[in-house]
Structures are given as structure tokens and as C-alpha cells.
């Protein structure tokens, strides 16, 4: 009777449980009112009215939901069930506490070689960094302690030859069984639920090209002391290369299988896909580094780290949240996005003990399948790169954005341990403080470009890694090559060079230098702004504010309202695989005020605003609801950048490289009102403030010996009269005048001036810290490879004093 | 009135379905409790014998696996087994199996605490699973 009741209840659940998609429509009535109707659309197209409004993020997204059928007085209706909890879609099998590991080196009966001594065998398994033990203990954050249970110090001989093992029905298990018996003969009884690692001196032919073999958690074994459960790893000797170049990766990888992990590569049918995960030890992409070891400096194959789906599975990682929001992701944590095919996880890999050896820092995405019968974690490609091995390029650096399960995922900021990731469309509040790259129009007035100096005060510049000299076997690791982060709209950017394999060798995958792109200046002055926010029509992503040429002002397409003076647009626009911030006003001064609003006011959680550039009132916002007075605590500026009013844009771009703070034209400078640090950018012919301190054809302030010679067309050292350079060089100087530091940065041409500002950013610390007047003349060039510029190179030509 | 007919129809459907389910063959006592003569799990030695006439069996054990990782990502494969938790295993092919498991598959692998029933065809060397369930 009870049984029948249970069956009835179960069947009842099946009858009344529904699955489908949430759709809706709005009816707008003549009198201005409206009504919204929501339905559950079943797979057969049937529409069932919902009894109550569903969560907004489920409507029209194509996201499968579960619902229950409920009866009302009117009719049967559906009610969307609460989203499933994470634990129902990503499973956990926590591992903690001491793990007992037995380590034995074993020879086949017909192979006498002992390729490693026992110090080697011990240290790659139990030694300090890098070792199997150190990797898993650090990956677990101390949750597990790997304890050597028994180490046989010396090689033992298995009772069978390689061929004999291959003649058994299961060579792997036969080796394990023989080893259990062999250890028993030496008085060793292996504890149940312990781990057995066998280092072999050769590779039987029936193991094919295997480098390592590992059980997925435990097998049962009959022993003279009863049935025990063991997880077993076999490490095969397949090359003498590993004698001097220990392969910790393979041993750590097999132990990962012993803990229950499978391969987390990309979804695909080729032989590489299963292992294509650069960010996880359970992938199999080589990470080779020279490290100190017991045999001196050795060239190690290192485990790559452990990604969040695996950390969570083992109980060592957590999720700070799910779905739409701005999330700060740190070590061993991330966010997840539910989807019909399972769950997508988003995490940041950079600063972990073994992550430090990865070539890149990046935000990576995995899909965890909820309906697996084998592999269940898949590396998710976020960029449009196909090939055999694509996981090393499919990550998001700052400023990059991708669609994941119908949501925008954008990275706006990161350091060596944390990253700020926005799921959903980023707002102005999310974008402020981002790692940014600045762009101004090549033909813009200097005042437009000076606005970038203010904008820079609201952001932090992007300075991230690239990898221009990578080779599969000899990696140079992460490197910073004095990158630029301020450009003209028509300029070739520096690239971040990543590498992938299409199956026939490694290919460069150049990415425009990372960073949220802050595009300063209006659509007529800046072609990037024009592409994203063109006149007379909606901008990218439906941005409703644009310049209306007929009306001569900024129009709000939703209301038709136009502002013809003292107005500016500030907007966040994700487009393609990048996030942009647009800052532009009706005139140059409006643009500068808009950038100043960003620097001094608290931006709302809107995608875009139109502001009054006089009082900073928000005139319109997208979405609506943020109109009104801005909250502006103001700012105390410690630095100013001064640019010649008639200078070329490139000079002013250099100013944004040099400093964030007050952006001033040379004609606006009032010395007594200047902040403590004043960066004067541009040469004496373009910037009158620079000319005051460093006039042409003669030594400058305080005896500064470097000056521009109009007759010789280059920079001269006044101490010797020598012409130091006529191209690709610049002067940087720090002069102390009436309690202020006046920092000069100027070159022969505008690009030289920008290089001078980049030098100040990357190498100017010693110059700026000097308590007395000092200066340098530096030559520079672009670093490039395969036609891609990836950084700047500097050589000091002269110093003063 | 209409609503009353609807309720009656649903109740009748539920009762009929319940009767059918209760009397269904797969709801007979778990096969390992009263296994047919040819339904006994093999011993280790039997797994080494040559293929025999295929028979349908339902065995209980836990899913175990061993992964062969090849050098330089040139492939690799996983062998699956049904482990009888007594030091005896049979190769498991679940290419065409239907999984009816309460939890995620990953929980069951190599986990003696989560045994499963496997209904399939045993040919003396490989158990070709048709259905795997708790």
C-alpha cells in the first residue's frame, strides 16, 4: 500500500512538473496604460499562462526553466519554480585531511635500467616546490595533507616481464595486484582508501603512448589481509628526457585522477580537445620552467594550477554569487551562470602558487555539464579561435568582453590576485576605476585630448603582459614591455600576442592591447567614437543618445529631447569583444567637463547619461531613473598635465600617458594654483610652459643642459655641444621650482613625446624621486615581431647631472 | 462540473499507471538479492575467459575507471569497469546505456559508497550496459 502511494506521488510529480521557456508580451492601451502577460512556452509550442510574473532575467532569454502546474479558479496555470541551487547542478565530492600515499619505484622483470635515483623519485613526489605533494597541498589551500605512508627506498622488481603483463586481460590492474603482493611480502599492508604511486622503469607496448595511468578514485583489491580500496597511479618511463627534466605535471595529473577528476578540455572530437585546458593540471599543456631543485637548476614540467569546477568539486573552492552583477573574484572563487546545458563558471587565474608560472593572467570560463556520463568539465572558448589547442588564447584580459550563456561577461579591472568581472551589461558605476586605454582623435583640438588627462584620473591605466618570444619548448613567461595605453584613433595599437595551435605548429593570435577603451571626443573629432556613437542614429547596443546634425545638439531618441549647449554624453558600450567608455561633449570644453565629471562625481548605475557640463546635473539617463543632481565629492589633484593649446593631438595623448589629474592648456596655467606635480608635455615649440623651462638653443632652468637646437634639428647636450639625436629620442626632466616639481616630457616629434610620457610611467620613479634637478635624454624604438608591435624599448643617451 | 470530470480523469490515470508500474518486471526484487543462475557476477578468473554466449544480466557494483594519458596530448582513453567491491571487476561499455542516476555521474565513479545496478549484456569479457540506475 505504501509503495503504491509512493508511486502515485511520483507519477503525480511527473504529471504536474513542467519545463519550458518564459515568454511575454505587452499590450499598450490608447489611454496610456498597459498590461503585461507572461507564459510558459512548452517544447511543443503550447503557451500556459503564468500565475505570477517571473523573474525578469528569465523572460525571453531562451533559458529553460522548470515550473509547476497550479490550479486557480479561472484555469490551470503555471508557476516558475525557483532556480535550482548550485549544488544540484555542480556536484561536490569533498576531499580533506591526511591522504596516505605509498611510493614505489619498480622494474619490469626483463628491464634492468634504473632511470632515476631515489632522491629524484622522492622529491618529484614528496619534495618542496615543485612536487606532486606541494602542488595538491597548495591547490587545496591546506585542506589536504599528503602524508607518505611508505616509501620503498630503492627499486623493486615486478614478477613479470612487460610482455607478460600485456598478455593478461588487464595489464594495469595486474601490475597493481603484483605490487600489493610484493609489498605484503616485505611486510607492508596498504591501508584501505589510500593512494599507491608506482614509478616504472619502462613502458609495456600494450600501454601505447601512455605517459601516465591513473584510476578515477578507488578500485577494490583482494589482498591477503582482506579487500581494500586503493587509488593507483602508474608513471611510465617513456623518455630519458625526464631524467634531467622532471615531469611533475604527469605525476600531479595522475593523482588528480585518483582524486576523482577527469580531463577538462574543450568540447570536440579530435585527440587534443580532451586535454586542451592550459589553466588546469588535468589538461595536459606543457608548462616548462627552470626552477631550483635538488639536482641544481632543472627544467621542470609543471602542473598548471586547478580551475574552479575542480576546486569546487573537491570542496576547495567556492562561488561568490551567480548571474548578473559586478563581482570581485579572488583565488579559489568565482561566479556561475546557470544555463540549460549545465552551469558556466567564471574565474580569474593569475596569482596562485603554480598559476604564477602560467604565461598569462586571465578570466577563464568552463561549462560543467549536468548530464554527463564521462567527462563533465569543459573549457569554454570565449573568442572566435578554432584549432587543436585554443585554451591558451581563450581568456579575457581587462577590457575584454564575451557572451556566455546569453550574458555579457566583461573584465574591467585586475591585479595579481583579484579581478573585477561584470556579468550583464556594465554600468558607469562598474566601469569607473577600470584598467583603461585612452583614445583621442588624431585631428582633435588639444582641449579634447587634454580631457583624457581628467579621464585618466577616473581610471587606472592598463599595463598587462604579452608574450612575443614564446616558443613551445622555451617559454619566456609573463613579461611587461613598457606598453602604451594612449592612442590616436587612426593608429596601429600595440598588441598582446597569444599563441594557439591549429594542429600544425603554434600560431600567433594578436589581440589589440587590453584595457577598457576610453574614447574621448565627439563623433566628428574621434573616429572611434563615431563608429560606436554615430550622428543621427542610435549607437552600439541601442545607445539612445547621439548628436543630431539637423538640430545641432545631443538628442535622446526615446523622448526626442535635444540639448544644444553645455551638454555631454558619457556612456559604457560593450561591443564585439571589448568594453568602451565614450566621453564627448558638444564642444571641446564640454568634453573636458564630461571627463572631469567622471573624475569628481559618483557615476550612477546607468549605461549612459547626458550631463549638463556646467552644474553636472544628469539631464537624461539610460535606462531612465538617474536624472537629477550628481553626487560630486570633488577631488584633490596632486598632479596636472599641461599641453600646448596649439599642439598636435599626439602631444596631448602623451599627457594622458604621463598623468591623471588636472588637464590644462599652456595658456591656462597660473603657477600659484598648480598642484605639487606638473607634467609639461610637448616640446618648446609646441608648449609655452615647456619653453619657460627648456627654451630652444640654450640651456634651461637651473642649468638643464639638454635643449632643442633649431639649427641642427635635434637634441644637444650643452655641456659638450654634442648633438645627441635627431629622431626617436626625447628629454625627460624633473625641475624643482618654488616648491613644485615641474616634470618635462618632450621629444623631437609627437610620437617621441608620447614615448617620453611612457618612459615616465614605466621608468620615471627614480627621476621623480630625485630631490634636485635632474634630466635624461633617451632614445626609443618599438619592439615588434611578425609585424606586430608589442612594446617599447628605451636606451639612455645622456644624464644630468 | 467540468472540473470534477477533469479531477476524476486524472485520478483514474494515476491509479492505472500505478498498477502498471507496481506490476512491471523491473520492479521485481533487486537482482542481486535473488539472482538467476546465470546472473551471478563473474569471478576474476571468469573475466579472463574467452567470450561466451551473450546473456542479459543485472549486476550491482560500483563504477570504476582507469585513465590512460598519452604523451603530448596525442590522445588517451578511459577504460570503465563495474567493480563488485571484492577485488573483482568486469569491463563496462556504456556507449548505449541509459543513465537513471539520482546524482551527478561524477559522484559514482570510483566510489564504493555509491553502488549502482547495471542491466546489460555480458559476453564473458565485456558488460554492454543498457541501463544504469541507483
Q: Which of A207, A253, A260 sits opposite B110 (nearest CB)?
A: A260
Same domain, residue pair A599 and A677: no
Query: Is B8 inside any structural domain?
Result: no
Last residue of one domain, picked from the residues A416, A431, A446: A431
Q: Give bridge partners of residue A145 from the DSSP assignment.
A: A98
Check: CB of residue A543 under 8 Å from CB of residue A533.
yes
Residues A347-406: pLDDT tens digits?
A: 999 989 999 899 899 999 999 988 778 899 999 999 988 888 999 999 999 999 999 999
Residues on chain B touching A506 (C-beta within 8 angstroms)? none
Check: CB of residue A511 under 8 Å from CB of residue A397.
yes
Query: Is A413 inside any structural domain?
Result: yes
What's the complex ipTM? Answer: 0.81
Mutate to test the interface with A, among B7, B63, B105, B106 (most CBs of A within 10 A): B106
Residues on chain A touching B103 (C-beta within 8 angstroms)? 91
Binary contact (B18, A11; C-beta < 8 A): yes
Last residue of one domain, picked from the residues A55, A85, A115: A85
Give the mean pLDDT of chain A. 89
Check: CB of residue A538 under 8 Å from CB of residue A546.
yes
Q: What are phi and psi of A556, to 5 degrees?
A: -100, 110
Give the number of other Cβ atoms within 10 Å of residue A493's Cβ.
20
CA nearest to B50 within chain A:
A169
Same domain, residue pair A75 and A158: no
| pLDDT for the residue A799 | 97
pLDDT confidence tier of residue B6, bands split at 50, 70 and 90: low
Binary contact (A210, B15; C-beta < 8 A): no
What are the CA-CA distances from residue A438 to residues A433, A519, A580, A582, A800 (Å)? 13, 6, 10, 10, 32
CA angle (A376, A381, A384) in 5-degree steps: 150
Same domain, residue pair A787 and A643: yes
Taking chain A (801 residues) in runs of 10, the rounded mean pLDDT of each run is 44 51 72 71 73 65 64 66 56 95 98 94 93 97 97 96 96 97 97 98 95 97 97 95 90 97 89 91 86 80 95 95 94 92 94 91 94 88 89 96 96 95 96 94 82 84 76 59 92 90 84 94 95 97 97 98 97 97 94 93 96 97 96 90 87 80 92 94 94 97 97 97 97 96 94 94 91 96 90 96 95
Same domain, residue pair A774 and A648: yes
Same domain, residue pair A361 and A423: yes
Query: Is B19 inside any structural domain?
Result: no
| pLDDT for the residue B25 | 35
Domain count, chain B: 1
Q: What burial class does residue A51 get, using C-beta atoms within 10 Å of its C-beta: 0-12 exposed, 13-18 middle, 19+ buried?
A: buried
Instruction: Single out the residue of A5, A345, A271, A310 nearest to residue A143, CA to CA.
Output: A310
Query: Is A254 inside any structural domain?
Result: yes
Q: Which of B70, B104, B110 sits opposite A215 (nearest CB)?
A: B110
Give the number of other Cβ atoms within 10 Å of residue A414's Cβ.
26
B109 touches chain A (CB under 8 A): yes
Query: Is A274 inside any structural domain?
Result: no
A602 SS3 class: strand
Q: Which CATH number does the domain housing residue B97 bear?
A: 2.40.50
A391 touches chain B (CB under 8 A): no
Enumerate residues 11 to 70 of chain B having a beta carbon within 8 A of any beta carbon in chain A.
13-15, 17-18, 21-22, 44, 47-48, 64-70
Query: Is A91 inside any structural domain?
Result: no
- Alpha-carbon distance of A267 to A741, in angstroms, equals 57
Q: Which three cell numbers stand for residue A286?
A: 606543457
Same domain, residue pair A699 and A769: yes
What are the CA-CA distances from residue A110 to residues A157, A163, A258 (Å)? 9, 9, 28
pLDDT confidence tier of residue B46, bands split at 50, 70 and 90: very low
Same domain, residue pair A124 and A251: yes
| pLDDT for the residue B72 | 75
Same domain, residue pair A66 and A186: no
- The β-bridge relationship of strands A288-293 and A677-681 is unpaired
A390 touches chain B (CB under 8 A): no
What are the CA-CA distances from residue A281 to residues A91, A302, A739, B71 (Å)? 20, 8, 56, 14
Binary contact (B112, A220; C-beta < 8 A): yes
Same domain, residue pair A39 and A163: no
| pLDDT for the residue A112 | 97
Instruction: Single out the residue of A287, A431, A279, A289 nearest to residue A348, CA to CA.
Output: A279
Binary contact (A209, B111; C-beta < 8 A): no
Query: Is A305 inside any structural domain?
Result: no
Query: Is A441 inside any structural domain?
Result: no
Q: Which three cell numbers stand for residue A234?
A: 602508474
CA angle (B119, A267, A410) in 5-degree steps: 130
Q: Which of A169, A172, A209 sits opposite B47 (nearest CB)?
A: A169
**What distance lies between CA A173 and its chain's CA centroid?**
43
- Alpha-carbon distance of A72 to A661, in angstroms, equals 63
Residues A112-141: pLDDT tens digits?
A: 999 999 999 999 999 999 999 999 999 999
Last residue of one domain, picked from the residues A407, A431, A455: A431
Query: Is A483 inside any structural domain?
Result: no
Residue B45 reports pLDDT greater than 60:
no
Same domain, residue pair A613 and A653: no
Check: CB of residue B129 under 8 Å from CB of residue B118.
yes
Q: How many CA atoms lie within 13 A of A583 on its CB side?
A: 37
Structural domain harbouring B124 = 34-133
Q: Which CATH number does the domain housing residue A228 bear?
A: 3.40.390
A221 touches chain B (CB under 8 A): yes
Same domain, residue pair A631 and A643: no
- Alpha-carbon distance of A532 to A546, in angstroms, equals 10
Q: Which three cell numbers stand for residue A276?
A: 586542451
Q: Which three cell numbers stand for residue A166?
A: 600485456
Domain count, chain A: 5
Query: Is A208 inside any structural domain?
Result: yes
Query: Is B119 inside any structural domain?
Result: yes
Same domain, residue pair A630 and A649: no
How close does chain B come to A647, measured CA to CA in Å?
56
Q: Which of A7, A223, A376 sits opposite B105 (nearest CB)?
A: A376
**What distance lies between CA B131 and its chain's CA centroid?**
5
Cell 597493481 -> residue? A176
How close does chain A come to B39, measured CA to CA in Å?
21
How close does chain A come to B69, measured CA to CA in Å?
5
**Sign, Cα dihedral of A66, A72, A76, A77:** negative
H-helix segments, A198-268: 241-244, 248-258
Query: Is B121 inside any structural domain?
Result: yes
Structural domain harbouring A602 = 515-635
Rounded to 10 deg, the angle between the B2-22 and A2-16 helix axes is 120
Q: Which of B71, B79, B89 sits opposite A238 (nearest CB)?
A: B71
Amino acid at each position: 500500500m505504501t509503495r503504491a502511494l509512493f508511486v502515485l506521488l511520483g507519477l503525480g510529480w511527473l504529471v504536474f512538473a513542467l519545463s519550458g521557456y518564459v515568454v511575454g508580451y505587452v499590450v499598450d492601451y490608447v489611454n496610456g496604460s498597459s498590461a503585461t502577460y507572461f507564459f510558459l512556452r512548452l517544447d511543443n509550442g503550447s503557451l500556459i499562462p503564468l500565475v505570477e510574473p517571473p523573474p525578469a532575467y528569465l523572460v525571453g532569454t531562451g533559458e529553460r526553466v522548470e515550473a509547476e502546474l497550479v490550479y486557480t479558479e479561472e484555469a490551470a496555470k503555471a508557476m516558475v519554480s525557483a532556480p535550482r541551487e548550485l549544488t544540484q547542478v555542480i556536484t561536490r565530492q569533498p576531499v580533506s585531511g591526511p591522504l596516505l600515499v605509498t611510493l614505489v619505484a619498480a622494474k619490469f622483470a626483463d628491464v634492468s635500467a634504473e632511470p632515476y635515483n631515489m632522491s629524484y623519485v622522492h622529491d618529484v613526489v614528496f619534495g618542496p616546490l615543485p612536487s606532486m605533494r606541494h602542488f595538491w597541498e597548495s591547490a587545496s589551500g591546506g585542506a589536504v595533507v599528503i602524508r607518505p605512508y611508505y616509501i620503498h627506498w630503492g627499486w623493486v622488481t615486478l614478477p613479470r616481464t612487460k610482455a607478460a603483463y600485456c598478455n593478461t586481460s588487464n595489464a594495469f590492474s595486474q601490475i597493481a595486484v603484483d605490487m600489493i603482493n610484493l609489498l605484503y611480502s616485505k611486510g607492508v599492508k596498504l591501508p584501505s582508501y589510500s593512494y599507491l604511486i608506482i614509478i616504472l622503469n619502462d613502458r609495456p607496448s600494450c600501454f601505447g603512448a601512455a605517459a601516465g595511468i591513473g584510476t578515477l578514485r578507488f578500485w577494490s583489491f583482494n589482498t591477503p589481509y582482506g579487500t581494500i580500496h586503493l587509488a593507483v597511479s602508474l608513471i611510465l618511463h617513456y623518455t630519458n628526457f625526464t631524467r634531467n627534466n622532471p615531469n611533475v605535471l604527469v605525476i600531479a595529473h595522475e593523482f588528480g585522477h585518483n582524486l576523482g577528476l577527469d580531463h577538462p578540455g574543450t568540447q570536440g572530437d579530435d585527440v587534443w580537445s580532451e586535454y586542451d585546458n592550459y589553466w588546469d593540471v588535468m589538461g595536459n599543456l606543457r608548462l616548462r620552467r627552470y626552477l631550483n631543485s635538488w639536482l641544481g637548476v632543472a627544467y621542470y614540467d609543471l602542473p598548471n594550477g586547478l580551475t574552479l569546477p575542480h576546486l569546487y568539486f573537491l570542496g576547495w573552492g567556492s562561488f561568490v554569487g551567480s548571474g548578473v552583477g559586478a563581482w570581485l573574484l579572488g583565488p579559489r572563487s568565482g561566479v556561475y551562470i546557470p544555463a540549460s546545458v549545465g552551469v558556466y563558471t567564471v574565474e580569474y587565474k593569475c596569482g596562485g602558487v603554480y598559476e604564477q608560472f602560467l604565461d598569462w593572467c586571465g578570466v577563464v570560463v568552463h561549462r560543467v555539464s549536468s548530464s554527463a556520463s564521462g567527462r563533465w568539465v569543459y573549457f569554454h572558448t570565449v573568442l572566435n579561435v578554432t584549432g587543436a589547442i585554443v585554451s591558451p588564447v581563450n581568456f579575457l584580459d581587462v577590457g575584454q568582453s564575451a557572451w556566455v550563456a546569453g550574458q555579457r561577461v566583461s573584465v574591467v579591472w585586475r591585479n595579481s590576485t583579484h579581478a573585477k568581472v561584470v556579468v550583464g551589461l556594465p554600468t558607469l558605476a562598474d566601469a569607473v576605476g577600470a584598467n583603461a586605454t585612452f583614445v583621442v582623435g588624431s585631428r582633435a583640438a588639444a582641449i579634447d585630448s587634454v580631457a583624457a588627462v581628467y579621464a585618466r584620473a577616473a581610471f587606472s591605466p592598463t599595463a598587462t603582459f604579452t608574450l612575443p618570444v614564446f616558443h613551445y619548448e622555451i617559454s619566456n613567461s609573463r613579461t611587461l614591455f613598457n606598453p602604451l595605453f594612449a592612442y590616436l584613433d587612426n593608429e596601429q595599437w600595440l598588441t598582446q600576442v597569444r599563441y594557439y595551435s591549429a594542429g600544425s605548429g603554434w600560431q600567433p593570435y594578436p589581440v589589440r592591447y587590453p584595457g577598457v577603451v576610453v574614447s574621448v571626443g565627439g563623433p566628428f573629432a574621434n573616429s572611434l567614437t563615431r563608429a560606436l556613437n554615430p550622428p543621427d542614429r542610435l549607437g552600439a547596443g541601442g545607445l539612445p543618445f547621439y548628436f543630431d546634425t539637423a538640430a545641432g545638439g545631443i538628442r535622446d531618441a526615446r523622448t526626442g529631447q535635444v540639448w544644444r549647449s553645455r551638454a555631454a554624453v558619457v556612456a559604457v558600450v560593450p561591443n564585439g569583444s571589448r568594453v568602451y567608455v565614450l566621453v564627448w561633449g558638444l564642444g571641446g570644453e564640454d568634453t573636458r567637463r564630461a571627463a572631469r565629471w567622471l573624475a569628481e562625481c559618483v557615476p550612477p548605475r546607468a549605461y549612459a547619461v547626458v550631463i549638463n557640463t556646467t552644474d553636472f546635473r544628469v539631464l537624461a539617463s539610460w535606462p531612465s531613473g538617474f536624472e537629477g543632481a550628481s553626487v560630486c565629492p570633488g577631488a584633490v589633484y596632486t598632479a596636472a598635465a599641461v599641453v600646448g593649446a596649439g599642439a598636435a593631438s599626439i602631444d596631448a595623448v602623451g599627457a594622458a600617458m604621463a598623468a591623471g589629474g588636472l588637464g590644462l592648456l599652456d595658456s591656462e596655467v597660473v603657477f600659484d594654483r598648480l598642484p605639487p606635480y606638473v607634467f609639461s608635455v610637448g616640446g618648446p615649440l609646441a608648449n609655452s610652459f615647456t619653453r619657460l623651462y627648456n627654451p630652444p638653443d640654450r640651456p634651461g632652468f637651473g642649468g638643464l643642459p639638454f635643449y632643442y637646437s633649431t639649427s641642427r634639428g635635434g637634441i644637444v647636450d650643452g655641456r659638450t655641444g654634442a648633438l645627441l639625436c635627431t629622431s626617436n629620442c626625447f628629454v625627460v626632466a624633473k625641475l624643482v621650482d618654488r616648491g613644485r616639481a615641474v616634470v618635462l616630457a618632450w621629444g623631437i616629434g609627437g610620437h617621441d613625446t608620447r614615448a617620453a610620457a611612457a618612459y615616465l610611467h614605466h621608468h620615471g620613479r627614480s627621476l621623480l624621486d630625485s630631490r634636485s634637478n635632474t634630466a635624461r635624454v633617451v632614445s626609443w624604438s618599438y619592439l615588434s615581431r611578425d609585424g606586430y608591435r608589442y612594446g617599447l624599448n628605451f636606451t639612455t643617451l645622456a644624464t644630468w647631472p | 462540473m467540468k472540473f470534477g470530470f477533469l479531477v476524476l480523469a486524472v485520478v483514474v490515470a494515476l491509479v492505472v499507471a500505478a498498477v502498471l508500474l507496481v506490476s512491471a518486471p523491473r520492479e521485481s526484487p533487486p537482482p542481486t538479492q535473488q539472482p538467476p543462475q546465470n546472473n551471478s557476477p563473474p569471478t576474476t578468473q571468469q573475466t579472463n575467459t574467452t567470450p561466451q554466449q551473450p546473456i542479459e544480466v543485472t549486476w550491482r557494483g560500483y563504477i570504476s575507471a582507469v585513465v590512460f594519458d598519452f604523451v603530448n596530448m596525442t590522445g588517451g582513453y578511459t577504460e570503465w569497469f563495474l567493480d563488485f567491491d571484492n577485488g573483482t571487476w568486469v569491463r563496462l561499455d556504456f556507449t548505449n546505456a541509459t543513465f537513471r542516476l539520482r546524482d551527478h555521474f561524477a559522484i559514482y565513479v570510483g566510489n564504493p559508497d555509491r553502488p549502482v545496478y547495471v542491466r546489460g549484456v555480458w559476453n564473458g569479457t565485456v558488460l554492454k550496459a543498457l541501463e544504469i540506475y541507483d
